[in-house]
Homo-oligomer: A and B are copies of this chain.
């Protein structure tokens, strides 16, 4: 997903894909895309709007038309991330109830692997405009999807055990995903697929509740 490629495909009037028009076409997407590349490779600390403008091939002041500043950009990424996560979780909880919880966890881990930059930014509140409405909305949707997925453990129960189970499942998936992305499990995993290992691990812990 290189910036220039996504930009040229997304450009509305693509009579000639090569000729650079004055208007970029989808600079917002191009800047987001470049930012995700940088974050995944070097972390959010390495971000600068000028650098992203350079990567997108526009003048350095252009990105400010779409994202007020660095924080605005990161907030947009986090909001997009929560949206993607909510989609992934909703998909997983559509499965049979018994396996809903397990698959929600696996989806969570898969999401983190497929969108490492989003994942990293979503849970770094110090980088974000936490009062941003779009962010709050997206996070609420994801939180809702998460709760629904977890409620699949024992749907009748709304008591403290269900609350605990929810936090346990989230902590487990979040911790596993975080350690995985930080390469902290490299020595402990064999050749196996990390998602399979996570599935095995979940089954071991939740076997009494989920089967």
Q: Report A159-197 CB contacts with B as 1/0, cut-off 8 Å.
A: 001011111101111111111001111001000000001
Q: Looking at chain A's contact residues, is the secondary structure mostly helix, strand, loop, or mixed? A: helix
Residue of B46, B165, B197 near A204 (CB, 8 A) is B165
Does A167 contact B183, Cβ atoms closer than 8 Å? no
Kindly state whether residue A208 has any CB partner on chain B within 8 Å. yes
- Size category of the A interface is 35 or more
A156 in contact (CB, < 8 A): no
CB distance from A139 to the nearest CB of B (A): 9
| B126, B127, B179, B206: the one within 8 Å of A174 (CB) | B179
* Stretch of A22-30, A37-45, A50-58 contacting B (4+ beta carbons < 8 Å): A37-45
| A200 near B164: Cβ-Cβ < 8 Å | yes
Asked whether A201 is an interface residue with its Cβ less than 8 Å from the other chain, the reply is: yes
Q: How far is the CA of A184 from the CA of B146 in the complex (A)?
A: 13
Q: Report the separation of the CA atoms of residues A206 and B166 in the bound assembly, to the nearest whole angstrom.
A: 15
Closest to A130 in B: B183
Q: Is the CB of B201 within 8 A of A164?
A: yes
Contact B204 A188 (CB under 8 A): no
Given A172-B171, A172-B175, do A182 and B43 touch, yes or no (CB 8 Å)? no
List residues of A whose CB falls within 8 A of some B CB.
42-46, 123-127, 161, 163-168, 170-179, 182-185, 188, 197, 200-201, 204-206, 208
**Nearest 5 interchain pairs by C-beta:** A175-B175, A43-B126, A171-B175, A174-B175, A171-B176
7 contacts between A and B (CB under 8 A): A44-B45, A123-B178, A123-B182, A164-B200, A167-B185, A174-B175, A175-B177
